[in-house]
Amino acid sequence: MGRLTTHVLDTAQGRPGKGIRIEVYRLEGEGRTRLKEVVTNDDGRCDAPILEDESLVVGEYELVFHAGDYLRAQGVEASEPRFLDVIPLRFGVADADAHYHVPLLLSPYGYSTYRGS
């Protein structure tokens, strides 16, 4: 069955992004529905798939990473407002039976993502 996972790596500090709050939304037209909220563990991952089985359906989704809160907690000095605070990542699920891994590589002034495995 399909599943959605993520992994946050703090590339500036060379370690997992621990304790990052992530909101999960399903997008429908101009609207979005909040499905859940998760927090990354010590390894920068979630303890279980974010969505799986019948909760993952074909469609568009958004993961909202609260990176600014994490960076503040890490003591990363930056001007306010921060260059990066809340990072929304929108992506599509075309095969609800597949594994969609959406990692975030994070630093105070940049981020990247890709479809992982």
**What digits encode the pLDDT tens for the residues 15-74?**
999 999 999 999 999 999 999 999 999 999 999 999 999 999 999 999 999 999 999 999
End-to-end CA distance of the chain: 15
| pTM exceeds 0.85 | yes
What amino acid occupies position 17? Answer: G
Q: Is 45 annotated as a binding residue?
A: yes
Nearest partner of 15 among 47, 45, 37, judged by Cα: 45
pLDDT at 46: 97
C-alpha angle 76-80-81 in degrees, rounded to nearest 5: 115
Give the integer Cα–Cα distance in Å for 78 and 13: 15
pLDDT at 35: 98
- At the second CATH level, the architecture of 3-113 is Sandwich (2.60)
